[in-house]
Structure 1
């Protein structure tokens, strides 16, 4: 097998999206599949984990700047704790993995491998909160969770174990908790748009699809190029249900006991799946500069008589970029030719390639190549770090613009059941329509075409946005519409 065959992506993104995606994540060095007998699990390789670390650092800084502190809670949750919040048990019961033995001893009480942590965190929040002076309380943890529901593994999108962060807060009243809910949703939206270069839609889940026990579940939704949507992150206003179940109370300024209002919010490595699916192409991985492990690769091109001067020049460029805080790789491997290096770094998704040959050395110049479109620019060697920053901004802008164009062209209106089915069947994307609020109408669409309501826009009294379909009819049953519903097929 030749080097090109080893590196090349053989499947087409447009034609065989699932197979293409599996090939990209493996050949770009992001994941391996787990051993036989562990269906639904993956091995995250260092390069894949580096993407998660960069996303984690970005979000963690945002959280800490707004009063959040990190903690860690056990991965095992006693069954009796889960049962104290009946909606959690009912909502997650089919997906919970249970530990029944420790060594050879049968446990007195089954332990759940956390599917989410409200029921282990809330009891301790109850201990830590005594008065209104202890509020708001904000904690977050970066952990893995297990949900035993994945049948077909799609790395990052759907695995039995996945990495995420989960934040949990307690507040004095409903409005403070809602403010917290929206603040975290804002941070998730900014992360998708500023770090991942993916525009999103934001709103809330319909009542029947909100987090078990929540008052309101808010979401950011990201559209994939194949017309399916990804639930990018959720932020839940839990109201008082968890506080009542776990006795999270406080004394107010008048020494009266009050029940706290809580929130929880999370983003998982599904965001990495959305990133890979959105930007990558038939040459391999494509990464926005903010998250790329290497933002720039410098590739020197020499013959025997020019090697020393070209390498010296390239080393100087790489050194200047490193000094400016840019993540740069100097590829001076002697055993690989330039064509192989170009293909390899394109496969790995590096946003900017700098080519340096004898002509660049003679002219005091550099040749830049953008990923993913291959656009080339000859630039001056002077002020190289500032020039690189400008071109990285251009790469980000290209990626965002392409994703934005896809999103804007994929939101369509429908006035009837047949229009919903026909539009989703032909085009995918989002279908925006009037909805009566009855789950049965959604079920009718779901049974026909495996699409569901992924989002309803915020009402005017929640925050600015689309209004409900006042005076319009539900496109499915003809009753008065009370919501604007966005139907889509989901990952």
Structure 2
């Protein structure tokens, strides 16, 4: 129940863990760094997966599956890639009771094993593009873990595409980062900033990395999705060439992109409160709970509750009735607040007599009367839409009120614990590394969203806050998960 949850103001980190476990979203596993995703948590992932999968297929992508184990020789073919992932890799050295002739890496990401297949599949420009997505698990040997946000094993999707021209590949990179933006904002009710990562923060083996960055309620940043332009790096590593229309041999151009179950962590930290989980309706597997107040003619109340549930289900609003008698209505109210059910319908004998019910919205706690007549399902649908929109507007207002600008290093350091800080950077890795070492803040994103760029004059020249050298643009700094 909610009393197990530490208040956010007291200890935000503990609040998060308490909520995840109290709402039965996930639990720690006996395997170090791994988690058990419980049915309540997996239901959210299923909703995310269904929405994203439909968006991928609408943009021409298809699903496939590639091996979990990757030969060491594959990993070593792309130098930057292995250097970036080596510290996080889990390696299998024995199988069937014998030492393996070649070590196998447990998939940290699939570029190498996929490009080994693409080399076999691609001979001509007629074989391109290849637009494949994979739903899978990956293993990265994280030293410090937190449920959903950072675990040794997690679930994700990874898109891997092959193209005949760099222009086509770059179009794909931007298309997919904007798919993620649309998903974050329209399904998660989570405003995000779209842009590039710096050279030091980009994906290992990529030419460029694009990302979406979101602000959590503790004002830290969370990277919610990435899309990578890989150039010809992996094609060259695996000698994947194709014959062009003109008859020349050329290396294939590539992208990769992905999101993971860390999106569940983002969802929790963006919207939830001290009572428990707050879910945007579009990601709630159960959008409405009907709680009959079992007094008087109990059978009539239960019958009406199930009739209302059937009417909602028939219109595509997933609902359920809790007519159990072992727990009080008050207990049920608290339990479903903890679980984040967007709308609670309270229905008693007097309500039925008056042809009304009481609807409580999870996001604000506000209650209102709804008619039980023909307009009932429409009213509930409108209420769910309003909750979805309100959660986005609330998160956007919170983010905008916690974006600050800094013109000096002292001002920059004072503002870092207050939110995102927009400041000038000279573009060098040396200055970036120095700022990170001194403040634990990183450059989260070089924004490319036109509205954001214009609002904060991101491309206006200035002076770097740390080095004092000329700066071509401003960037977004923050402490992050």
How does the TM-score come out when normalised to structure 1?
0.95
Partner of 2:100: 107
The correspondence for 2:440, drawn from 447, 450, 457, is 450
Corresponding residue to 1:412 among 404, 411, 414: 404
How big is the shift at 1:87? Answer: 0.9
Residues 241 and 267 of structure 1, relative CA distance in 2, 3 Å threshold: same
Does 2:322 align with 1:331?
yes
Q: Establish whether residue 72 from structure 1 lines up as the match of residue 76 from structure 2.
A: no
- Could you say what secondary structure the match of 1:392 adopts? helix
Distance 1:98 1:237, change over 3 A: same
Question: 5+ residue gaps in structure 1?
Answer: 1-5
Q: Offset at 1:9?
A: 3.5
1:140 correspondence with 2:143: no
Query: Which residue in the other structure is 1:286 paired with?
Result: 278
SS in structure 2 of the partner of residue 8 of structure 1: helix
**Mapping of residues 120-135 of structure 1, within 5 Å:** 120-135=113-128
Match of 2:462 in 1: 472
Q: Deviations over 1:363-410 (max 9, x none)?
A: 111211000211111011123221111000111122111111111112
Q: What is the Cα deviation at residue 13 of structure 1? A: 1.2
Partner of 2:232: 240
- The count of aligned residue pairs is 478
Runs (4+) off by over 6 Å: 463-467
Aligned counterparts of 1:236 and 1:186: Cα–Cα separation in 2: 13
Structure 1 residue 306: Cα displacement: 2.0
Are residue 16 (structure 1) and residue 11 (structure 2) matched?
yes
Q: CA deviation at 1:470?
A: 4.6
> Pick from 282, 297, 304: which aligns with 1:313?
304
What's the offset of the Cα at 1:247?
1.8
Q: Structure 1 residue aligned with 2:25, among 21, 25, 30?
A: 30
Match in the other structure for 2:479: 489
1:3 maps to none
The runs of 5 or more residues in structure 2 that have no matched partner are none
User: How far does the alpha carbon of each residue in 1:328-372 deviate from its partner, in whole angstroms, 9 at most, with x for none?
Assistant: 010000111110110110000000001101121011112110002
Q: Does 1:87 align with 2:87?
A: no
User: What CA distance in whole angstroms lies between the structure 1 residues aligned with 2:260 and 2:299?
Assistant: 47
Change (3 A) 1:59 1:30: same
**Please, what TM-score do these two structures have when normalized by structure 2?**
0.97
Aligned to 1:387: 379
Relative to structure 1, is the Cα distance of residues 450 and 320 closer, same or farther in structure 2, using a 3 angstrom cutoff? same
SS at match of 1:453: strand
Q: How much does 1:230 deviate?
A: 0.4
Cα RMSD between the aligned structures?
Answer: 1.6
Q: Secondary structure at the match of 1:230?
A: strand
